[in-house]
Amino acid sequence: MGSWIPTTESERKEMLAVIGAASIDELFSSIPEPYRMRGWEIPAGLSEMSVRNLMAGLAGRNTADAISFLGGGYYDHYIPAGVDALSGRSEFYTAYTPYQPETSQGTLQSIYEYQSLICRLTNMEFANASLYDGGTALFEAATMAVRIAKRNRVVIHPSVNPTYVQMLKTHAANLEFDFVTGDDPSGAACVLVQNPAFDGTVRDFTALGDRCHAAKALLVVSFYPVSLGMIKSPGEMGADIAVGEGQCLGMNLGFGGPYLGIMATRAEHVRKMPGRIAGQTEDHDGRRGFVLTLQAREQHIRRTKAMSNICSNQALCALRAAIYLCLLGKEGLRDLAVACHSKAEYLKAKLDFAQILNEGPTFNEFAVRLPMDAHLVTSKLLDRGFLAGLPLHDVGAGETNDLLIAVTEQRTRAELDAFAGALKDAACN
């Protein structure tokens, strides 16, 4: 058995003497006797070495080294070494919420810089310190829009990730939200759109934004941060709320998390935004410092009237995103977007045996209809070392032959050529 408890037997006795208790058991006397635990089925403890071996065994039963074309909202981007090295500093990752700002300036300034980076990326005016992930951020945006517009209808554009739609419906199951599909803002609190769409299609939602505003509805844009190295930003399209999945900004894929829920809005709505917000101020000597601000929106003050229940957020992920964006910089983000887009276009052009399903241009992901069942094809490609993409039927977004293929900067021309060949072999034979 291992333990990180330093207290020796003799120290325990000394401490009990100071407390005036005969045994540690006595300290649990407020638990009524019938409920004191008799036994449970928990395995015996292990040494650190055995834990490591056990975990290596479990990790070894997973495939994490295939050449991946899986996307669907989560992307295999390169994470620069600086991200782990800096976010791994224990002054960051073993701290908690900056309740004492004087000893948390590292956290608070990094949140402020993260908020600034998100605003610059999206062309919005205010960002919060993070939400859980892209899906919950979209739900929070819908709730925020309902609160602002004082209407219950939430219009979901077909571009939105179907998993997000499921999450929206689960979260709002007991709220009187009226979800409709389409793009008609009349009588609605908001229209939720995603750009690029789940199938990778890039659109300009500026006109829809104008229609929303004419109908006094909000435009909520769910975005893919890396694409903003190239495509029109939510702010440029007139979005009132921008939300996104920040996984691509330096987070490991990690089988679903931890990720990063991004949210930004316009100045007029900041008091209705959920989540923590860091603001700049000064101390009595006029030194610049940062604090959590506008806390009257939050659960610890407003309880039932709070904008959200969120307490712990994804602060360390926001720090990773900030470091990532600083390391990439202005030119780097553009180069990254160009690489992703160009490589995806190169691959798309090679798949002449498949039908491209997108309505318009795409960024780094596209949907194809194969000549045969996508499950069969992906299984065959797995044997050749590829994760060939997402069979769309499995996520309720297409037919059995449809496959969603994503390309990041990590894929080389040789890999794209090999993949195109292997896909053709598998799908046409």
Ligand X SMILES: Cc1ncc(COP(=O)(O)O)c(C=O)c1O
Residues of this chain that interact with ligand X (CB under 6 A) are 311-312
**Is residue 62 involved in binding another protein (CB under 8 A)?**
yes
**Is residue 147 involved in binding another protein (CB under 8 A)?**
no
> Which residues does 91 contact at the CB level (< 8 Å), separation at least 6?
106
Q: Taking the CA atoms of the chain, what radius of gyration do you get in angstroms? A: 25
**Is residue 13 involved in binding another protein (CB under 8 A)?**
no
Return the number of the residue (65 or 429) whose C-beta is nearest another protein: 65
**Which region among 147-155, 182-190, 208-216, 331-339 touches another protein (by CB under 8 A)?**
331-339
How far apart are CB 300 and ligand X at their closest, in Å?
9
User: Contact, 279 vs 294, CB < 8 A?
Assistant: yes
Out of 148, 202, 248, 262, the residue judged to bind another protein by CB under 8 A: 202
Out of 276, 321, 408, 423, the residue judged to bind another protein by CB under 8 A: 276
How far apart are CB 210 and another protein at their closest, in Å?
15
How far apart are CB 61 and ligand X at their closest, in Å?
30
CA 122, CA 234: separation in Å to the nearest integer? 6
CA 309, CA 209: separation in Å to the nearest integer? 29
Q: With CB cut-offs between 5 and 8 Å by kind, which of another protein, ligand X, none does residue 58 bind?
A: another protein
Return the number of the residue (97 or 184) whose C-beta is nearest another protein: 97
**Is residue 372 involved in binding another protein (CB under 8 A)?**
no
Give me the sign of the Cα torsion angle 312, 317, 319, 325.
Answer: negative
CA 372, CA 391: separation in Å to the nearest integer? 12
How far apart are CB 174 and another protein at their closest, in Å?
3
My answer on whether omega of the bond before 258 falls inside 30° of 0, hence cis, is yes
**Is residue 6 involved in binding another protein (CB under 8 A)?**
yes
**Is residue 103 involved in binding another protein (CB under 8 A)?**
yes
The amino acid at residue 370 is L
How far apart are CB 216 and another protein at their closest, in Å?
25
Return the number of the residue (276 or 343) whose C-beta is nearest ligand X: 276
Out of 9, 32, 150, 429, the residue judged to bind another protein by CB under 8 A: 32
**Is residue 421 involved in binding another protein (CB under 8 A)?**
no
290-298 own/partner pairs: CB under 8 Å, 24+ apart: 290/101, 290/105, 290/108, 290/109, 290/111, 290/112, 291/98, 291/101, 291/108, 292/98, 292/101, 292/108, 294/270, 297/271, 297/272, 297/273
Phi then psi for residue 60, to 5 deg, are: -70, -15
Phi then psi for residue 242, to 5 deg, are: -115, 130
**Which region among 104-112, 149-157, 178-186, 420-428 touches another protein (by CB under 8 A)?**
104-112
